[in-house]
Amino acid sequence: MNQMKEKIQALKREKNAAILAHYYVPEEVQEVADYIGDSYYLASLAAKIKETTLVFCGVSFMGESAKALNPEKTVLMPDTGADCPMAHMAAQDKIKMVREMYEDVAVVCYVNSTAELKACSDVCVTSSNALKIVKALPNKRIYFIPDENLGRYIASFLPEKEFIFNDGFCHVHASLGGEEVKKAKNAWPKAKILAHPECRPEVLKEADYIGSTAGIIDYAAKSSENKFIICTEKGVMAELKKKNPDKIFHMPGRSMCCADMKKNTLEKLVCVLETGENEIHLPEKLRAAAEKPLKSMLELAK
Ligand code: 13P
Ligand code: SF4
């Protein structure tokens, strides 16, 4: 393992590459990353990195966003088969239909979406900035794609807006039920419940804090409490434990695992650094169209 990590460091220098990783990738991959964070941090950061090659350890929509925002850079992914099923759970035809029905609608697209869906949208959001951005939009009517749970959670703070929801969901977060959270709460009554907004409403109802992966990590680090029940994918446990060695973290039920994120292995990382394979390419017309709502997000989230 150490040999492989040394090899990665040497290859990075040789290829002028930086490694970006999401909190859900395996711990050993997080350990070799130059930058690790939530979707918003990683999307906003890619534009500031001086290296000419970005190796994105995450799922396709993250690599695509990095490429859309940095067309001059080479973006590689350890496994191009690492895809987020929710990213495909909205339809371009439906967006067109909603736009025809409501002239004043803003199509708000969670970044967990394909470049094609982003290209048909007005603005992108992540779980860490969705509320701020949707609130700032002048439009009363919002079509929120693809995640229904995040959309409904945001809508609960904005009674002045009219939301149209889409029935997309994250199968990993949706696998957690309210009963499992209640059981965890009974087992560890003093623990604070921290949940990702992709969870079902019945889970969010039990939560003391709701936020992105980075938000959850930050909340636990700043809290004076020392026990937490973590309702998101198990990859965040690495950073939570690293930042808070004296605090205790539990996961309710069977811990949630995103099989796509786990496709990012050290072996594949070495391979793409060596060969330059798995480069992300977007046709220029699509790239430019997907870049627009991403740039609007970066502007509005400031
Ligand atoms: P974050 O933006 O909170 O990192 O979430 C990304 C994701 O895929 C959640 O399932
Ligand atoms: Fe997609 Fe869910 Fe995996 Fe996040 S955890 S990448 S939303 S499948």
The per-residue pLDDT string of the chain (302 residues; one tens digit each, 9 = 90 and over) reads 788 889 999 999 999 999 999 999 999 999 999 999 999 999 998 668 999 999 999 999 999 999 999 999 999 999 999 999 999 999 999 999 999 999 999 999 999 999 999 999 999 999 999 999 999 999 999 999 999 999 999 999 999 999 999 999 999 999 999 999 999 999 999 999 999 999 999 999 999 999 999 999 999 999 999 999 999 999 999 999 999 999 999 999 888 999 999 999 999 999 999 999 999 999 999 999 999 999 999 999 98
Take atom 3 of ligand 1 and give the residue whose Cα is closest: 212
What ranges in 73-188 are assigned the alpha helix state H?
A: 92-101, 115-119, 130-136, 148-155, 178-187
CA of 62 to the centre of ligand 2 (A): 11
* Beta strands per DSSP E along the chain: 17-22, 35-37, 53-57, 74-76, 106-110, 123-125, 141-145, 162-165, 192-195, 209-210, 227-231, 248-250
CA of 10 to the centre of ligand 1 (A): 30
d(CA 155, CA 143): 11
Please work out, in degrees rounded to the nearest 5, the angle formed at the alpha carbon of residue 20 by the alpha carbons of 277 and 196. Answer: 120
What the chain holds in terms of domains, given with CATH numbers, is 2-83+261-283 (3.40.50.10800), 86-169+289-300 (3.40.50.10800), 176-250 (3.40.50.10800)
Q: Which of 44, 176, 212 most suits a substitution to test ligand 1, by most atoms within 8 Å of the C-beta?
A: 212
Output the six-digit token pair for 98.
């909603």
Take atom 6 of ligand 1 and give the residue whose Cα is closest: 39
CA of 55 to the centre of ligand 2 (A): 19
CA of 59 to the centre of ligand 1 (A): 10
Closest atom of ligand 2 relative to the 198 alpha carbon: 7
Q: Is the CB of 89 under 6 A from ligand 2?
A: no
Model's pTM, two decimal places? Answer: 0.96
d(CA 56, CA 297): 20
